[in-house]
Amino acid sequence: MPPQHGVETAADGPLPPRRLSITITARSIWLGAAVVVGILLAMLIVSKALSTLVLLLLAIILGEEAPSLATCQITSTSCGTGCLTCRGSCKPRRG
């Protein structure tokens, strides 16, 4: 017999409603506590070392740009023109 009005039925009558059970174990409590402590510890470290982290990030960004700046300085002194025009195609001046 097909279900009527969205109610599931078994061979001997309608099925009981499904129940959702949530169990909280000791493991889930420890895991939740570890997550909270980890977030608080990360916030403490970032708040105490914010200036250091900003300087470190700035040093990394400038460090990535440093090789091209060094090349620019070398080529600009050897050809005597601006570093954008002589990068990689600089010829020594004569005379």
The per-residue pLDDT for range 22-66, each reduced to its tens digit, is 888 999 999 999 999 999 999 999 999 999 999 999 999 988 876
What per-residue string of b and e applies to 74-93 under the rule 16 or more CB within 10 Å gives b?
Answer: ebbeebeeebeebeeebeee
pTM above 0.85, yes or no: no
Which residues on adjacent β-strands are paired with residue 9?
14
Helix (H) / strand (E) containing 31: helix 26-48
The identity of residue 8, as a single letter, is: E
Q: How far apart are CA 79 and CA 91, in angstroms?
A: 6
Locate the domains of the chain by residue range. 49-75
pLDDT at position 88 is 53
Q: Each residue of 80-94: pLDDT tens digit? A: 554 444 445 555 555
